Amino acid sequence: MNQDTTKHQGKRRRLANILSEKGIKDTAVLAAIASIPRHLFLDSSFEDHAYQDKAFPIGAEQTISQPYTVAFQSEQLMLKPGMRVLEIGTGSGYQTAVLCHMGAEVYSIERQHELFRTSLKRLPALGFSPKKLIFGDGYKGFPEKAPFDRIIVTAGAPVVPEALLAQLAVGGRMVIPVGDEQQKMTIITRTSQADFEKLILGEFRFVPLLGDKN
């Protein structure tokens, strides 16, 4: 495995400062960005670029999200240590590591086997202990462990999956980009068993949340 050096540490502290200047305020999010070796979630050919505020390919036609997007979604979760979080789209495992660093009990689902297998090895090797990494279809959520205090979807969903709404705890919060080409970052709060409130916070661009047929 590649090394983590003081040079990398300096670069990620600078990245956290850039995200703070871009408006991220949650100190737990900034501390996670400043601490987690993003270059070790990427192919070594990206080592020199890993602390730029950019998305990069991770194989299987997928990407690690831009750090600003990771920070924005993590902040919008309004996470407290010990909360149960369901993540859809483990990808490289970087966002999973951010949630673990913030003290969450993380369940994360990935539908690409190659990415699932890599994260299954990578996260414990880097000292992160998600509660469970699941190989499967995130549209279905993870009913075995529902309800979740927080749900984060890291791919663009054409619609909000019904199964995820059903698995959100009352008082819980979901952060999900909704749309096809561009996505509206949608925050859903479950205010009672039957009621949900929706808030839209800006536009982002994600790879699509893929269903059974694609």
Calpha distance 55→131 (Å, rounded): 26
Give the total of residues touching ligand SAM (CB under 6 A).
24
| DSSP letter for each residue of 69-111 | HHHHHHHHTT--TT-EEEEE--TTSHHHHHHHHTT-EEEEEES
Q: Do 126 and 97 touch, CB atoms closer than 8 A? A: yes
Vertex 43: Cα angle to 122 and 17 (nearest 5) = 85
The verdict on whether 65 is a catalytic residue reads yes
**In this complex, which beta carbon is closest to ligand SAM, that of residue 55 or of residue 83?**
55
- Per the omega criterion (within 30 degrees of 0), is the bond before 147 cis? yes
Nearest CA among 113, 110, 111 for reference residue 130: 110
Q: Which of 138, 141, 177, 179 binds ligand SAM (CB under 6 A)?
A: 138
CB 142, min distance to ligand SAM, A: 11
Report the C-alpha gap between 69 and 65 in whole angstroms: 6
Q: How far is the CB of 111 from ligand SAM (least distance, A)?
A: 4
Site for ligand SAM, residues 49 to 108, rule: CB under 6 A: 62-65, 88-89, 91-92, 94-95
Binding segment (CB under 6 A) for ligand SAM, from list 4-12, 26-34, 120-128, 135-143: 135-143
DSSP 149: E
Stretch that binds ligand SAM, among 6-14, 44-52, 74-82, 202-210 (CB under 6 A): 202-210
Q: Which of 56, 107, 128, 206 binds ligand SAM (CB under 6 A)?
A: 206
Q: Are 75 and 25 in contact (CB under 8 A)?
A: yes
Is residue 112 near ligand SAM by the rule CB under 6 A? yes
Comparing CB distances to ligand SAM, the nearer of 92 and 186 is 92
Catalytic residue among 35, 45, 65, 108: 65
| Residue 68 vs 206, nearer CB to ligand SAM | 206
Q: How many of the other CB atoms lie within 10 Å of CB of 81?
A: 9
Pick 2 or 191: Cβ nearer ligand SAM:
2
Binding site for ligand SAM (CB under 6 A): 62-65, 88-89, 91-92, 94-95, 109-112, 115, 137-139, 154-155, 206-207, 209-210
Question: Active-site residue numbers?
Answer: 65
